């Protein structure tokens, strides 16, 4: 049985639907992420799960039981917020001990469990400090320790790393993965950063205007996005408008606007006349000097418009002869990488057939 199950959950504010018929189920021990742009309903959904708010319709089940009438403090769920929400007048120890005190745990037991929790988040040395004497990352670790101290079934985290700088954020991401493995508690993590979601999660639910658009493992979401919104939202991608011209057997032929035809394996339910986009990741795009290669499949000529060198990779913007622009990501350390291109260099762009996906427009 799933640990948490949402069935057709809807939450409206006036005539605006912030959570629009969301269904999902999360297994015990999962690191599950809600990912989506600002305003898509992530926090609203988390508040419904935590019990700070109630759905207009739909069901929320924990261990198979409807928790609609269970108040937040009676749910085995704890929420960690971006703002840490620590008590400023309490030491680290007292902040972490707080939930245990509320549950009337014996003082000796509290001492033992707080010590262990502080060890888990590597804060033993800071036990007697006050929040204002801690860095952002340390404060967030206190919040995690407090969240884990009661061993909830579910830990909800709403952009917990949002206030940290890039380097610290990466360190904390690594720590979070280890912490979750160590404590074995199910995490629901909210972020609008696709990098963070890809790095941390076992599964990701991508949200857009209140709806879940796709749920899957990071590699699936990245390599097989269900639609144009997801393709565009997760990582960089080249999107080219295209229409299906005909279908024969297992294949479909598409006309990419201004570029020519390509043939791809047929996708279910696709019909001649359908429109959509051809999506190709920049790291799948190959670039050759015009003189270097003559016979590559899907080869289109163009010239280098711009490039950005970022250490291990270079991103090239190529303008094809028909005006279509493509980005190509070339690893600077790639074996056989003999040369770099300059602006205005004439080049050939191509990609392996399986790198291109057709994402039909939604009706």
Q: Is the dihedral of CA 249, 254, 259, 260 positive or negative?
A: positive
CB 278 within 8 A of CB 232: no
Q: Give min distance, CB of 179 to Mg ion, in A.
A: 22
Please tell me whether residue 15 binds ligand ATP under the rule CB under 6 A.
Answer: no
Please tell me whether residue 41 binds ligand ATP under the rule CB under 6 A.
Answer: yes
Query: How many whole angstroms separate alpha carbon 309 and alpha carbon 70?
Result: 54
Q: Give min distance, CB of 14 to ligand ATP, in A.
A: 7
> Helices in 16-106 by DSSP H: which ranges?
42-50, 92-102
Stretch that binds ligand ATP, among 24-32, 37-45, 133-141, 296-304 (CB under 6 A): 37-45
Query: How many whole angstroms separate alpha carbon 285 and alpha carbon 331?
Result: 11
DSSP annotation string for 292-328 = T-S--TT-EEEEEEEEEEETTEEEEEEEETTS-EEEE
Residue 227 interacting partner from ligand ATP, Mg ion, none (CB closer than 5 to 8 Å by kind): none
Please tell me whether residue 43 binds Mg ion under the rule CB under 5 A.
Answer: yes
Query: How many whole angstroms separate alpha carbon 179 and alpha carbon 172?
Result: 10
Please tell me whether residue 13 binds ligand ATP under the rule CB under 6 A.
Answer: yes
Chosen residue from 3, 6, 30, 44 binding ligand ATP by CB under 6 A: 44
Stretch that binds Mg ion, among 38-46, 112-120, 238-246, 345-353 (CB under 5 A): 38-46
With CB under 6 A as the rule, give the number of residues binding ligand ATP. 11
Would you give the DSSP letter of residue 152? Answer: -
Site string for ligand ATP, 58-97 (x = CB under 6 A): ----------------------------------------
Q: Give min distance, CB of 281 to ligand ATP, in A.
A: 25
* Bridge partners, residue 330, by sequence: 314
Residues comprising the chain, all counted? 363
**Closer residue to ligand ATP (CB): 45 or 237:** 45
Q: Give min distance, CB of 20 to ligand ATP, in A.
A: 10
CB 48 within 8 A of CB 4: no
Phi, psi of 289, deg, nearest 5: -65, 145
Residue 309 interacting partner from ligand ATP, Mg ion, none (CB closer than 5 to 8 Å by kind): none
Query: How many whole angstroms separate alpha carbon 61 and alpha carbon 217?
Result: 23
Tokens (6 digits) for 59:
């069901």
Site string for ligand ATP, 152-191 (x = CB under 6 A): ----------------------------------------
Query: How many whole angstroms separate alpha carbon 165 and alpha carbon 224?
Result: 31
Chosen residue from 4, 33, 43, 240 binding ligand ATP by CB under 6 A: 43
Angle at 210 between CA 357 and CA 363, to 5 degrees: 45
Site string for ligand ATP, 135-154 (x = CB under 6 A): --------------------
Residues found near Mg ion in the complex (CB under 5 A)? 43
Positions in the binding site for ligand ATP (CB under 6 A): 13, 18, 36, 38-44, 192
């Amino acid at each position: 049985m799933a640990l948490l199950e949402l069935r057709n959950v809807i939450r409206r504010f006036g005539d605006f639907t912030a959570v629009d018929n969301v269904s999902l189920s999360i297994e015990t021990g999962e690191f599950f992420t809600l990912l989506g742009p600002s305003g898509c309903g992530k926090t609203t959904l988390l508040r419904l799960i935590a019990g700070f708010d109630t759905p207009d319709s739909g069901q929320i089940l924990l261990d198979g039981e409807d928790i609609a009438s269970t108040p937040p403090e009676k749910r085995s769920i704890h929420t960690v917020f971006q703002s840490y929400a620590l008590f400023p007048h309490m030491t680290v120890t007292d902040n972490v001990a707080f939930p245990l005190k509320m549950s009337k745990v014996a003082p000796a037991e509290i001492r033992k469990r707080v010590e262990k929790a502080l060890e888990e988040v590597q804060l033993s040395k800071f036990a007697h400090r006050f929040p204002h004497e801690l860095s952002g990352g340390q404060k967030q670790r206190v919040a995690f320790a407090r969240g884990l101290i009661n061993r909830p079934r579910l830990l909800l985290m709403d952009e917990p790393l949002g206030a940290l700088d890039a380097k610290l954020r990466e360190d904390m991401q690594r720590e979070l993965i280890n912490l979750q493995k160590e404590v074995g508690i199910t995490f629901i993590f909210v972020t609008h950063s696709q990098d963070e979601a890809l790095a941390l999660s076992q599964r990701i639910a991508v949200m857009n205007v209140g709806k879940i658009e796709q749920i899957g493992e990071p590699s699936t979401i990245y390599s097989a996005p269900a639609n144009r919104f997801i393709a565009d939202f997760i990582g960089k991608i080249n999107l080219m408008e295209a229409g299906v011209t005909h279908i024969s057997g297992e294949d479909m032929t598409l006309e990419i606007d201004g570029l020519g035809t390509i043939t791809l394996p047929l996708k279910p339910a696709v019909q001649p006349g359908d429109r959509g986009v051809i999506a190709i990741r920049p790291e799948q795009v190959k670039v050759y000097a015009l003189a270097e290669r003559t016979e590559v499949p899907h080869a289109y000529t163009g010239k280098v418009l711009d490039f950005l060198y970022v250490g291990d990779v270079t991103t090239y913007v190529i303008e094809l002869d028909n005006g279509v622009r493509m980005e190509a990501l070339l690893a600077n350390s790639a074996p056989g990488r003999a040369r770099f291109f300059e602006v205005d260099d004439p080049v050939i762009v191509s990609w392996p057939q399986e790198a291109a996906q057709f994402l039909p427009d939604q009706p």
